[in-house]
Structure 1
Amino acid sequence: MNPTSAEERLERLNALPLRENLRGTVPYGAPQIDVPIQLNVNENTHPLPTAVREAIVTGVEGTLETLNRYPDREFTTMRESLARYLGHGLTADRLWAANGSNEVLQQILQAFAGPGRTLMSFPPTYSMYPLLAAGTDTGYIAGTREADFTLTAESAAAQVREHAPDVVIVCSPNNPTGTSTGLDVIEAVYAATEATRSMVIVDEAYAEFAHTGTPSALELLPGRERLIISRTMSKAFGMAGTRLGYMAAAPEVTDALRLVRLPYHLSAVTQAVALAALAHADALLATVEDIKAQRDRIVDGLDRLGLTPTPSDSNFVLFGPLQDPEAVWHGLLDAGVIIRDIGLHGRLRVSAGTEAETSAFLDRMQELADAGIAVPAP
C-alpha cells in the first residue's frame, strides 16, 4: 500500500465532523532531525548525574509490586516535595502537577476558560498558548510588546482593561525572546483584572536560568487568589522526558483543577521519577550555572559578529534579524547543529548546550559570517 500523501490526509481530516475552530490548524512541534548537536527545543543537554539515575531506578523499582493498582490520585508526597523545593512558605495544598506544564495550562483553561471565554497573551511568546486556546475552544487575544520585546506595566494593564480576557498568561522569562517580566507588570495586570475576576498565569518554565537577583512571581502569591505560577521539571532539572509540570496557587485553584483532571492522571512511575529528582535537586540544578555561562558566551559571541542577540534570562538566545535566516539555519544543519527558526522577522533561536556544543555552534557561526552568510539584515 502506498503511503497516504499529506494532501490526502488533510482531505480525509476535513471530511470528519471536526470542530470549526480546529480546521486549518497544524499540530505543535519543532523539526525532529537526528543530528549530533540539538539546540532547537531548549532542552537541558547535560546528562543526568549517576547518583540521580540510580535514585530514579530505585524509585521506579519500588513501584513495580503495585503497578496493578492505581497510583496516588492526589500525589500528596510529590506535592509536599514540590512545596519544599519552591519555598516561599508554600504548602502541599497550594501545589498541583500534571504531565508537563502544557497539561497544567490546559487544565487551567478547561476550568476557567472554554466556549464564550477568552485567553490573552503577549506575542511574540510561547506558541502553544493559542493552540491551547483552540484545543479548549477558547477565544484567543494577541496582545503586543515593545519593539525590544519587553512588556511595560502601563501597556499590559491597558491592554487587559481594553480586552477584558477571562485568562491572561504572561511568560517570564519569555519564550522565544528570553526577556524577563518585572513584578510590577504582573501586579499591574492582576490589578487590571479585578473588575472581571480573571485568572492571571505567570509561566515561569525558565525561571531557574534567570540572572541572579531576578525575582519570581511566587513572591506575589499571598493575597492574590486568582494568580497562578506555572513551572516545569523539563528545563532546569533536565527531565523533559519525564513530562512533569506543576503550579503554585491558592488552594481553591487546585480544587478547581480537580474538577477537570482525568482520573489518576499522574502515573506511579512519573511520581517516583519526580520524587527521586526532587530529592537530588541540588545535583540536577548544578548544571544551571554552566548553562547560564554558555548562554552568556553565546550572547557575547553573537554580539561580536554583529548579530544583535536579545538579552536573555533563559537557557536560549534569540538573535537577528538576519539577511538570510534560512541560509544560516541550513548552514548550521550542514555542520550537524540544529537550532530553531521561529519565523520571527528574520530571527533565529539557539539553546545553550554544553561547553562543547556551544563552541561548535559559535565556531560554525564564525565560518558562516566569514562566508558572508550569517550577516545582519540591511
Structure 2
Amino acid sequence: MGEVTVRLDDLPLRDDLRGMTPYGAPQAALPVALNVNENTHPVPSEVADDILDAIARALRDVNRYPDREFTGLREAFAEYLGHGLVREQIWAANGSNEVLQHLLQAFGGPGRRAMGFAPTYSMYPILTRATGAEWIAGEREHDFGLSPAFAAEQVSRENPDIVFLCAPNNPTGTPLGLDVIEAVYAVTDGIVIVDEAYQEFAPHDEPSAVTLLPGRPRLVVSRTMSKAFAFAGARVGYLAADPAVIDALRLVRLPYHLSTLTQAAATAALGHADTMLSMVDEIVAQRDRISATVAALGYTAHESWTNFVLFGGVDDPAATWKALYDRGVLIRDVGIAHHLRVTAGTADETTAFLDALASVGSRA
C-alpha cells in the first residue's frame, strides 16, 4: 500500500490546474531559518499561559460545534483595528490565505479575472487559478514601487474583477501609499483587496488602509496574526470591509470553519496585543541592521516596511543561497534576478546571517 500507481497527469484533473505547482518554501532543520518571514520571537510566556488557559476552558465544550459566527473573536479584531469598526465589518479564517480564498470564491471564479502587480505575493495567482479565475500580472516601476497613475492606468486598461494591492509588498518590502489605493478604487467597479499582512512593521505614524473604508463598499483590508503576533502556527487571518462583503463570504465558507480552539487562542492573544506587539520594534531594529550591513557589504538593500529585507546585486543567487545553507542559514530565493530575501530574526539570528554572508564574500 502507498505505492504510486499513476502519474498526476493520468488523473482526470481540471485542465486549468495542469502544469501548476503547489506553493512551498524549502523546509530544513537548520540552526537559523530566516526564509518564510515568520516572527522568530516566541510568544511571551505570560501570554502563552493565558492562551493555554483559554484553550483548556474551550476544550470542555469541544464536543459541540464552535460558534459559527465567531462573534467574540470578531469583536476582538474590531477593537484591535479601531477606527470605529464593528464586528459586522470583520471576517476571519484559517490564515489570511483562506481569507483571500473566500474573497476569490465569492467575487472571482470561472469567467472572471484577478490582477496584481508583479513581483508580489506568490499565492495571489495560485489562489486565483485554483478558484477558476484568470490571473493578470501587472507591472511595477523600476524600484518595485507603484505610483497612483501607473497603477490606475493598468487597472483601467485590464478592467479586472478583483485587484490585489500588497501593502507593504511581499517579497520586496516596498511601501504602498494610500493615494495608490484611492486611485485604483476610483477606476474599477470590482473588489479592491489591500493585503496588510506586514502593516505592523511600517512606521507607527503611517495610516492603514482601514482609514479608507468609509464610503468604499468594494474595498477590503486583509490582515494576519502570523507576523507581528507570532501566530504563524495558529493560522489566523482576518479582514475588515463593508458588512455586505461579509455577507457574501458567508455564502462560500465551510460550516464552522474556525474551530473552538482557534477562536479561543486568537481571542486570548488579542487580549494581550500590547505585549504581543512589543517585539515589533526589536524586529524592525534587526531589519534596519540587516539593510545597513548588506549595503556595507556592497549589495543593494531595498526599502522595507516589513519584517524582511530584499537585497540585490547578488551575482549568483543560487550559489550564494547554497553557501549560506552550508553555513546553517536558510534564506529565500524568490525568483527575482540577482536578488535574495532574508527575514529579520532575533539579534543572534541576524548576527549569524550577517557573519555568514560576509564569509561568503562581500561585493564592496
TM-score when normalising by structure 1: 0.95
Which residue type is aligned with residue 125 of structure 1?
A: T
Indicate the residue corresponding to 2:343 in structure 1. 351
1:201-220 equivalences in 2 (<5 Å): 201-220=193-212
Shift of 1:3: 6.0
Asked whether 1:82 is paired with 2:67, we answer no
**1:238 aligns to what?**
230
Summarize deviations over 1:12-64 as a string: whole Å, max 9, x none: 21111111110011110101111011000000000111111101110000111
The one-letter amino acid of 1:216's match is S
| Matching of residue 148 in structure 1 with residue 143 in structure 2 | yes
Separation of aligned partners in 2, 1:278 and 1:67: 21
> Which of 180, 194, 215 in structure 2 is aligned with 1:223?
215
* Mapping of residues 298-313 of structure 1, within 5 Å: 298-313=290-305
- Residue 72 (structure 1) aligns with: 67
Distance 1:54 1:141 in 2: 45
TM-superposition CA deviations, 1:256-304 (whole Å, max 9, x none): 0001000000000000000110011111100100000000000000110
Provide the rounded CA distance (Å) in 2 between the counterparts of 1:164 and 1:330: 42
Amino acid at match of 2:183: A
- Hey, what does 1:159 align to over in structure 2? 154
Number of the residue aligned with 2:363: 375
- Select which of 303, 317, 321 maps to 1:329: 321
Matches within 5 A, 1:52-63: 52-63=47-58
Amino acid at match of 1:168: V
* Pairing of 1:122-133 with structure 2 (within 5 A): 122-133=117-128
SS in 1 for 2:300: coil
**What residue ranges of structure 2 are gaps of 5+ in the alignment?**
none
- Kindly indicate whether the alpha-carbon contact (under 8 Å) linking 1:323 and 1:375 is maintained by their aligned counterparts in 2: no
Distance (whole Å) between structure 1 residues aligned to residue 59 and residue 194 of structure 2: 37
Q: Which runs of 4+ in 1 moved over 3 A?
A: 1-4
Q: Match of 2:87?
A: 92
Q: After superposition, what is the alpha-carbon deviation per residue over 1:104-163, rounded to whole angstroms, capped at 9, x for unaligned?
A: 000000000100000000010000000001110000000000010000100110000100
The one-letter code matched in structure 2 to 1:176 is P
Q: How many residues align?
A: 364
The superposition leaves residues 174-231 of structure 1 with CA deviations (integer Å, 9 ceiling, x where unpaired) of: 00000110000000000011xxx20000000000001232221111000000000000
Distance in 2, matches of 1:143 and 1:346, equals 21
1:170 aligned partner: 165
Partner of 1:294: 286
Give, as a single letter, the amino acid of the residue that structure 1 aligns with 2:277. Answer: L
How far does residue 328 in structure 1 lie from its aligned partner after superposition?
A: 1.0
Equivalent AA in structure 2 for residue 78 of structure 1: L
Residue 285 (structure 1) aligns with: 277
Provide the C-alpha distance between the structure 2 equivalents of 1:170 and 1:342, rounded to a whole number of angstroms. Answer: 18
Q: Is the 8 A contact 1:200 1:226 kept in 2?
A: yes
> How far apart, CA to CA, are the structure 1 residues paired with 2:275 and 2:327?
32
CA contact (8 A) 1:85 1:278 kept: yes
Paired residue secondary structure (1:34): coil
Q: Partner of 2:19 in structure 1? A: 24
Deviations 1:72-94 (Å, cap 9, x if unpaired)? Answer: 00000000000000001100000
Structure 1 residues 259-270: aligned runs within 5 Å: 259-270=251-262
1:185 is aligned, of 180, 183, 198, to 180
Shift of 1:2: 9.3
- SS of alignment partner, residue 342 of structure 1: coil
State the alpha-carbon separation in 2 of the partners of residues 340 and 211 from structure 1.
25
AA aligned opposite 2:223: R
Tell me which amino acid in the other structure corresponds to 1:375: R
CA distance in 1, matches of 2:42, 2:98: 25
What is the aligned partner in structure 1 of residue 35 from structure 2?
40
RMSD (Å), alpha carbons: 1.2
Match of 1:104 in 2: 99
The amino acid across from 1:16 in the alignment is L
Taking the aligned partners of 1:108 and 1:156, their CA distance within structure 2 comes to 21
